[in-house]
Amino acid sequence: MEIQLEFLDILRGVLPDDVLRVIELTGKHNRWRKRLCVNMIASENVMSPLAEMVYLTDMGHRYAEGKPKKRYYQGNIFTDEVELYLMKIMGELFHVQYVDPRPISGTIANATVFYALGQRGDKALIAPVQAGAHVSHTKFGILGALGIEHIELPFDIEEFNIDVDKAVKMIEEVKPKFVVLGGSVYLFPHPVRELANAVHSVGGKLVYDAAHVLGLIAGGQFHDPVSEGADIITSSTHKTFPGPQGGVIMTNDRELYKKVSKIVFPVFVSNHHLHRLPATAIVALEMKYFGKQYAEQIVRNAKTLAESLAAEGFKVLGEAKGYTRSHQVILDVRAQGGGAKAALILEKANIITNKNILPYDKPEMIKDPSGLRLGVQELTRWGMKEDDMKEIARFFRRLLIDREDPEKVRREVIEFRMNFQKIHYTWDIPLEELSKKLPILPLLE
C-alpha cells in the first residue's frame, strides 16, 4: 500500500507545498525501503500491519511516569492494563518473573543495568569491540559515561567467539562487577553457561544483551540465557523480534529487578512512549503463535545465504563452525574494495547492508572496515526462503565480483523484490476493508 498519487493530488488543494514535501518524501522512503529494496541491515525489521495499527494510537500523545497503578499522571486506566499485559506475555515468552518494558531503547536498557551494577572506578568485562560489542557496552558509550572501566574479554577468531578458558582466568583475576555477553556482530551463542559460575564466584553479575537475537530466543532457536546462568537480560525490541523500536529488561532476580526498576524512572526515562506498548504486545503474541516457524526459517536462511555467498566466491566468516547460528552473515570484502565501497555499490542496486569492522581490523578502520554485516530476519518476515537466499548471493557476486552495472542489477532486484509484498508469521487481516472503517491504519505505506 504505497502512497497514492491521488492522495497527494487531493492534499495539494488543502496543504502548503512545504507540508506536501514532507509527506511526499515520507511516502518515497516507505515505498523504497518497504517495497523495492532487499533490506539486510541486521538491526532492523518491519512490524506487521496489525502491530502498526495499534502503534498509531492516542497513546502516543500521553504520559505515564512511574509504574502501572502508581503513576504520577492521571488518565492511564487502559495504558496501565496494556503495560501489565505486555509484562505478563513477555514473562511467559522468555521464562522470567520480572519484566520492565519502560526503557525506550536497548541502549537505555543497558544504561539502566550498568548504572545499577557498577560505580565509577569499577571494572566490567565485555566482548572485544571489533568482535561485536555494542557501542553502549564500551568506554565510548555507557561504560565511559558512567566511569566504569571497560576491559575486553579474550576472543578466538577461528571459533568467532569468546575464548572460554582465557576468559575464566581473566574473570578470576580482574574480579569485575559485571560481565556483558551478547553483541552486535553475533554469529554464535556466547558462552553463558561456561562463564556464569566464574562470574558469580567473584561476586559479579552476568548481563546478557539479547537485542539482536531476542526473536530467535522467543522461537527456541538460540540459547535461553537466563536458564544458562545470566542474571539479567537487556534488549531492544525491533531486530529479530519484529516490534517497534524500544527496549526491555528481564530477570528472575527480584532484588536486582527492584533496584533496576527504580533507576529506569527517574534516572534514564521519564515518559516511556506508550504507543510502543500495545504494538510490542502484539509482536510478543505473534512470537507466541508463529515464533518457532519464523525463527527456524531465519536460521535456515542465514545458513543458506552464507553457504551460497561462499560458493559465489566470497570470504564468509565463521566457516569452521558452519558460518552462523543466528540471523547474521559476516563477509570479509577486502578483495572487493572494503566494506564502505561494497555497501555503497549494493545500495545503488537497492540492496541495503552496512559496513562493519572485523575482529582483525584496527580500530582506526571503523570508517572503512574490512567487512559487511548482513541480516536475513526482515527478508524472512517478507516470506523469503532458501532459494531466495541463493538468488541474493548471485546479486552480490554480480555486483561485487563481476562488477556489473548497479543500475542494471537494481532493475532485477526490484523485480525480484516485488514478489515479496506481504508480511508473514502473523495473522491475515482484511486490510482494505479495515481501512474504510478505521482511520488509524497507516496512510503512507
Q: What angle do CA 208, 210, 212 make, to 5 degrees?
A: 145
Q: Which three cell numbers stand for residue 135?
A: 557501542
Mode of pairing for the β-strands spanning 149-152 and 123-126 = parallel
Q: List the beta strands (DSSP E) in 270-393.
A: 315-316, 328-332, 351-352, 354-356, 371-375
Q: Which residues pair with 206 in a beta bridge?
A: 179
Element (H, E) at 150: strand 149-152
pLDDT of residue 445: 47
**Low-confidence residues of the chain, pLDDT below 70?**
1-6, 431-445
Q: List the beta strands (DSSP E) in 21-136.
A: 38-39, 66-67, 70-71, 98-100, 123-126
CB 323 within 8 A of CB 303: yes
CB 38 within 8 A of CB 382: no
Tell me the whole-structure pTM to 2 decimals. Answer: 0.95
pLDDT of residue 366: 86
Helix (H, G, I), strand (E, B) or coil at 429: coil
Q: How far apart are CA 90 and CA 184, in angstroms?
A: 22
pLDDT tens for each residue of 128-163: 988 889 999 999 999 999 999 999 999 999 899 999
CB 253 within 8 A of CB 231: yes
Identify the DSSP state of 76.
Answer: -
Helix (H, G, I), strand (E, B) or coil at 220: coil
pLDDT of residue 13: 79
Q: Which three cell numbers stand for residue 206?
A: 552476568
Q: What CATH number labels 53-285? A: 3.40.640.10
Give span(s): CATH 3.90.1150.10, the chain. Answer: 291-417
pLDDT of residue 196: 98
Tell me: cis bond preceding 266? Omega within 30 of 0 counts.
yes
Q: How far apart are CA 365 and CA 368, in angstroms?
A: 5
pLDDT of residue 435: 61
Q: How many CB atoms lie within 10 A of CB 330?
A: 25
Residues with Cβ within 8 Å of 385's Cβ and at least 6 positions away in sequence, in order, are 297, 300, 301
Helix (H, G, I), strand (E, B) or coil at 283: helix
Q: How far apart are CA 272 and CA 275, in angstroms?
A: 9
Q: Which three cell numbers stand for residue 11?
A: 492534499
Q: Which three cell numbers stand for residue 115?
A: 548504572
How large is the greatest C-alpha to C-alpha distance in the chain, in angstroms? 71
Q: Which amino acid does the sequence have at 250?
A: M
Cα distance between the two ends of the chain: 5
The count of C-alpha atoms lying within 13 angstroms of the C-alpha of 361, restricted to the half-sphere facing its C-beta, is 24
Please give the CATH superfamily to which domain 291-417 belongs: Aspartate Aminotransferase, domain 1 (3.90.1150.10)
- Taking each helix axis from N to C end, the angle separating 77-94 and 276-311, rounded to the nearest 10 degrees, works out to 40
Q: What angle do CA 234, 146, 252 make, to 5 degrees?
A: 30
Q: How far apart are CA 195 and CA 228, in angstroms?
A: 10
Give span(s): CATH 3.40.640.10, the chain. Answer: 53-285
Helix (H, G, I), strand (E, B) or coil at 163: coil
Q: Which residues pair with 242 in a beta bridge?
A: 238
The stretches of 244-275 forming alpha helices (DSSP H) are 254-263
pLDDT of residue 14: 87
- Categorise residue 292: left if φ over 0, alpha if ψ from -120 to 50, beta otherwise: alpha
Q: Which three cell numbers stand for residue 289?
A: 503463535
Identify the DSSP state of 420.
Answer: -
Q: How far apart are CA 394 and CA 124, in angstroms?
A: 43
Q: What angle do CA 84, 89, 94 make, to 5 degrees?
A: 125
Q: Which three cell numbers stand for residue 87?
A: 509484562
